[in-house]
Amino acid sequence: MHTWLCRHAVGEPVDYAARAVALGLKEIAFTDHSPMPKYFDYWRMLLEDLSTYVEKVRVAQKQFPNLVIRLAMEVDYLPGGEDWVRELAKMYPWDFFIGSVHYVSDTWAVDDPKELSKWKERDPYEVWEAYFDRLGMAAQSGLFEIIGHADLPKKFGIYPKRDCTAMFERFLDIAKKSGVALDINTAGLRKDCKEIYPSPAFMKLAAARQIPITFGSDSHDPIEVAMGFDKAVEMVRGLGYTHYCRFEQHRRLDTKIGD
């Protein structure tokens, strides 16, 4: 879940926590967009706000002692940016990092509505391929416990005409080998694609490899907390998943779905 500190979400950590308690959740995690060393784009935390973020999460932890609140971040994977992620990792006692690819080049984030026109200049298959190449590198980097919204390029409903199964399998084989979990992310239900990230077809291939999963609402507003989780649970149960995982100080805790 995000907070207003990333400059495109609303709400304080305590607001999200209050909503989670009202819904009867036992555990939540803050995973706001990680800062870059210098100004990078308009939709992430600024480095000077990082300590405020951590303090605000700690305030929520104190205010809601019966709710487990993990301190984490959603960190952009950029080739060559690994040292910065290592630096961030050392700054605070994070529970985990979600590794996400938004950028398929130095300047284009495929999910940015302000850059939607760029899709018209590119073959969707090539964009998806560039994206999944980077996602494989993210999984392989060993920097992340979870890979975020694995089929994000579908956000605007723009799909390659060619079959992507081999592309997905290449990534999933790397994911399996590197031990990352996949984020079952319900934000997709609220976008043009109207589908959970990743798709059922993608998750069928993941289930065959027994790749662990986490549940995420990717909330950018307290009202979105746990939104679509019923559909997420239904989807993964249908694929044979009985467990999901949580992370505490980088340690994976496997938990029965429903517990």
Under the rule (CB under 5 A), what is the footprint of Zn ion?
100
| Gyration radius from the chain CA atoms | 17
Minimum CB separation from Zn ion for residue 185, in Å?
8
For 58, the token pair is 């700690």
Minimum CB separation from Zn ion for residue 183, in Å?
9
Minimum CB separation from Zn ion for residue 192, in Å?
16
Residue 61's H or E segment, with its range, is helix 50-63
For 206, the token pair is 């993941």
Sign of dihedral through CA atoms 227, 114, 126, 6?
negative
Decide whether 217 or 254 has the Cβ nearer to Zn ion: 217
Decide whether 64 or 103 has the Cβ nearer to Zn ion: 103
Decide whether 66 or 107 has the Cβ nearer to Zn ion: 107
DSSP assignment of 196-241, as one string? PBSPHHHHHHHHHTT--EEEE---SSGGGTTTTHHHHHHHHHHTT-
Q: How far apart are CA 232 and CA 215, in angstroms?
A: 8
Minimum CB separation from Zn ion for residue 6, in Å?
6
Decide whether 79 or 238 has the Cβ nearer to Zn ion: 79
Minimum CB separation from Zn ion for residue 154, in Å?
13
Decide whether 3 or 100 has the Cβ nearer to Zn ion: 100
Q: How far apart are CA 139 and CA 212, in angstroms?
A: 13
Minimum CB separation from Zn ion for residue 224, in Å?
11
Decide whether 141 or 255 has the Cβ nearer to Zn ion: 141
The alpha carbon torsion through 63, 95, 136, 193 (nearest 10 deg) reads -10
For 51, the token pair is 């300590």
